[in-house]
Amino acid sequence: MKKIKSYLVACLFSPIVFLGDARGQAPQSWTSADMYLAIRKLNVLGSVLYVAAHPDDENTRLITYLSKDRMFRTGYLSMTRGDGGQNLIGEEQGIELGLIRTQELLAARRMDGGEQFFTRAYDFGYSKTPEETFTKWDKEKILSDVVWVIRKFQPDVIVTRFPETGEGGHGHHTGSAILANEAFAAAANPNRFPEQLKYVSVWQAKRVLWNTFNFGGTNTTRDDQLKIDVGGYNPLLGKSYGEIAAESRSQHKSQGFGVPASRGEQLEYFKATKGDQPVSDLVDGVDITWRKIQGGEAIEKMISGIAASFDLLHPEKSVEGLVQLYKKIGSLPAANWKDQKLKEVHQLIAQCSGLFLDATTAEQFAVQTDSVRISFSLNNRLGTDAVLQKVRVDDFDSSFSKIMEKNRNINFSKTFLVPPSKPITQPYWLANKMEEGYFNVNDQLLIGQPDVQPSFQAAVSVKIFGETFTFSRPVKYKFTDPVRGELYEPLVVLPPVLVSPDENIKISKGDNTFNGLLNLTGKKKGFQTFISGVGKDQPDQVKVEYSPDKFSFEDKNKLVPVTYKIVANRDNDYYFAVDANNGRKDLYHLGMKEVKYDHIPYINYFTIATVTNKKLDLEVYNKKIGYIVGAGDKVPGVLEQMGYEVTLLTDKELTRNNLAQFDAIITGVRAYNTNEWMNRHYDKLMKYVNEGGNLIVQYNTSSNIGPVKAKISPYNFDISRTRITDENAPVTFLIPEHAVLNFPNKITPDDFKGWIQERSIYHASNWNKEKFEAILSMNDPGEKPDEGSLIVARHGKGYFTYTGIVFFRELPAGVPGAYRLLANIIALNKKKGF
């Protein structure tokens, strides 16, 4: 795989302050209550870093309490972006799911006031032990990331969600605690990761606390642990911390984590794992006042005075005092807290002034070698003493020296050339080919940052009470939706041509010939180009034909379909590139993926235009498949590639259709968890099976986030939480002569080679042994074999199958054995002599 050139701008690692505007919405202005609380927070110099493994592991109630009641600088370090989880709202998996969960986590932090950080670790799926986790994460590399965040954030106290001793269950959970506790000492040791010290200093936190818990049948809280009530009510916010925390946690929509609000006393328990056990407070023994900085006592008095005189109806009256405070803090000796409080005062000055600073475009995309028009709208809404001095975007720098009159708009627009060297808007962690357990990020200053860099930023310089302040605002795409109203989304830089294969996995047989379609989208008009080949990595024996091979884009967004035929002598990856024909020998080889949900900003990322050819020894029997859509997966498209005719079935189609037309009906992942209407069709489905049909049920969960809402089978069985997480776990054939293992494909141990992430999840248990046959047995290292991954029963003339085998992961990845095994399950009711 080639490296995607992203040319990301190197910038200092700096946390995003989430009290500002939420992406997808208009820039948010604080209420006077927000401003008053932020002024009071200026006098608190304490910080806490919460550490766990995934999005949704964090204790949002505690983060809310620490940030909004104690007013500590509070951060959450998640080891991963949640890439290996399951998706309740769509078909995205892997890195796409990680992109969704990243945005859900950022939305949660906007609610609870925390800051968000990540390591380079990839969520490769469920892991039963930290030892397994560290074989994929590269423990030393991820430890260095934890140390880096600690050295940058400089927390007084580190809090872990999970212990080092395994009560958290998931190997990632335990691994996160091990890393946090090791980083406690490593961050203070100049001999550990010394390459970081040209950017940061060593840092010794006071202690590491385990935030003990009582959930999932495990109670780790004890009366001798530190107890803190975090369930208070904040009258300025009009909500309890439990209510705010519920809003925060409910942002994890892809995981089905909507929760009710809580009120009243809510106790959290803490046990020290490094450093001393606190007696009365998390920060026992830590000075959290300005007295820790030379000359800080005077700063404390200034802040107290500004807070005491704050006028809720006229926050602009505090601006002059805040400007003087900014200058006073700026005169202090160099210190981390000096820098942090300067940022906070800087933001307060903009908010208390009522400044509206907006830079937007009317188009979602800025195209390399084309132009983009940016509109600026500036307003001094409260009439503070402000003079607009300059506006700068990239190389554009415009001077004004214009008094900003009260509540008068200053509007202007400027057209900018987007040079070919302008970086595409690519999430930095996807810029390089990743390893199995972590992303390859080589720029130290990017590590830990939660989100992609904005493609364009407007720097607006305003002189306020004689002092010049420069406010940076990302340029966004603004439009009006007829239902949701005015919306802001990221502005994305992309190449002039996008190259997107119709399918990324191509199945071939026999002579290894396969056909496909390339969709070429011209993002600028008046552009001519031609296909230049299938990439330098191809063997000489490859024969490729294109039709057409030359084309032009007279109009922007014109789509040109190009058919191709490839004849090769072996499996391979094929890279497609388009020659710009512009004299610079520019090659464009990127396709763009889009993910859109209403609760998060638009997500766009780029992939190299690649098709992976899989030559399969595959036979299929039966033709027509009915597929009942569940939580979302990509299995239907793969079935079509295998040669089946697939009809998607929803509540309406199940009601209207004669099911006898289908050779097999397959339920999508978690179909019985997500579709309450499945219960209405139980009798019809059982009648279909009884009369010779073949019903194949993929996994459903038994957890509280997705209880089974309908009857599934003609015979009783339970769904357990048993899973086989080792994708290389040995598989034993319990009934070697069974049709599932013989027709139309002879299944052998080789068919279980090359699997990804895991073997199976949510096995069947307690099944009726007289009716069901268990086909396979498998187990993770050190565990007993389990036979619940694939059970089959005859019912009348037909068959019912329940399987926890992760076809939804293996099929889109092109795993040959998964294709062959599923084809056999589909063929069960027409088994030809078996």
Q: Cα(646)–Cα(626) distance, rounded to whole angstroms?
A: 6
Question: So what's the pLDDT on residue 3?
Answer: 37
- pLDDT: is 587 or 338 the higher one? 338
What is residue 570's three-state secondary structure? Answer: coil
**pLDDT over 90, % of the chain:** 77
What is residue 172's three-state secondary structure? Answer: helix
Q: Cα(638)–Cα(644) distance, rounded to whole angstroms?
A: 9
Residue 705, pLDDT > 50, answer no
Question: So what's the pLDDT on residue 465?
Answer: 97
Token pair of 639 as six digits: 């079935």
Hey, which residues does 647 pair with through a beta bridge? 626
User: To 5 degrees, how large is the angle CA 413–CA 415–CA 418?
Assistant: 140
The model's pLDDT over 100-139, given as tens digits with 9 standing for 90+, comes to: 999 999 999 999 999 999 999 999 988 989 999 999 999 9
The model's pLDDT over 425-476, given as tens digits with 9 standing for 90+, comes to: 999 999 999 998 999 999 999 999 999 999 999 999 999 999 999 999 999 9
The model's pLDDT over 736-792, given as tens digits with 9 standing for 90+, comes to: 999 999 999 999 999 999 999 899 999 999 999 999 999 999 999 999 999 999 999
Question: So what's the pLDDT on residue 1?
Answer: 34
Q: Cα(47)–Cα(729) distance, rounded to whole angstroms?
A: 44
> What is the DSSP track for 698-709?
-----STTS---
Question: So what's the pLDDT on residue 703?
Answer: 55
Question: So what's the pLDDT on residue 528?
Answer: 77
Q: Cα(328)–Cα(331) distance, rounded to whole angstroms?
A: 5
Q: Name the pLDDT band for 5 (thresholds 50, 70, 90).
A: very low
Question: So what's the pLDDT on residue 7?
Answer: 29
Across 17-40, average pLDDT: 73
Across 803-814, average pLDDT: 94
Residue 395, pLDDT > 90, answer no
User: To 5 degrees, how large is the angle CA 312–CA 314–CA 320?
Assistant: 115
Question: So what's the pLDDT on residue 441?
Answer: 97
Across 4-23, average pLDDT: 34
Question: So what's the pLDDT on residue 709?
Answer: 61
Q: Name the pLDDT band for 820 (thresholds 50, 70, 90).
A: very high
Q: Cα(504)–Cα(517) distance, rounded to whole angstroms?
A: 11
Q: Cα(481)–Cα(559) distance, rounded to whole angstroms?
A: 25
Phi first, then psi: give them for residue 694, nearest 5 degrees.
Answer: -135, 105
Looking at every residue in the chain, the average pLDDT score rounds to 91
Question: So what's the pLDDT on residue 615?
Answer: 83
Question: So what's the pLDDT on residue 21?
Answer: 46
Question: So what's the pLDDT on residue 586?
Answer: 62
Residue 690, pLDDT > 90, answer yes
Nearest to 367 by CA among 418, 426, 425: 418
How far CA 593 is from CA of 99, 658, 754, in Å, comes to 11, 37, 26
Residue 23, pLDDT > 60, answer no
Neighbours of 163 (CB within 10 A): 20
Question: So what's the pLDDT on residue 535?
Answer: 46
Q: Cα(769)–Cα(780) distance, rounded to whole angstroms?
A: 24
Token pair of 545 as six digits: 């034909």
Neighbours of 255 (CB within 10 A): 23
CB within 8 A of 769, min separation 6: which ones? Answer: none
What is residue 589's three-state secondary structure? Answer: coil
Question: So what's the pLDDT on residue 549?
Answer: 80
Hey, which residues does 527 pair with through a beta bridge? 553
Nearest to 722 by CA among 781, 780, 673: 780
Contact 611/576 with Cβ under 8 angstroms?
A: yes
Question: So what's the pLDDT on residue 539?
Answer: 52
Q: Name the pLDDT band for 414 (thresholds 50, 70, 90).
A: very high
DSSP one-letter code for 620:
-
Question: So what's the pLDDT on residue 377?
Answer: 97
Q: Is 421 exposed, middle or buried (0-12, 13-18, 19+ CB in 10 A)?
A: exposed
Q: Is 360 exposed, middle or buried (0-12, 13-18, 19+ CB in 10 A)?
A: buried
Q: Cα(166)–Cα(128) distance, rounded to whole angstroms?
A: 9
Residue 38, pLDDT > 80, answer yes
pTM confidence score: 0.88
Q: Name the pLDDT band for 541 (thresholds 50, 70, 90).
A: low
Question: So what's the pLDDT on residue 534?
Answer: 56
Question: So what's the pLDDT on residue 666?
Answer: 98
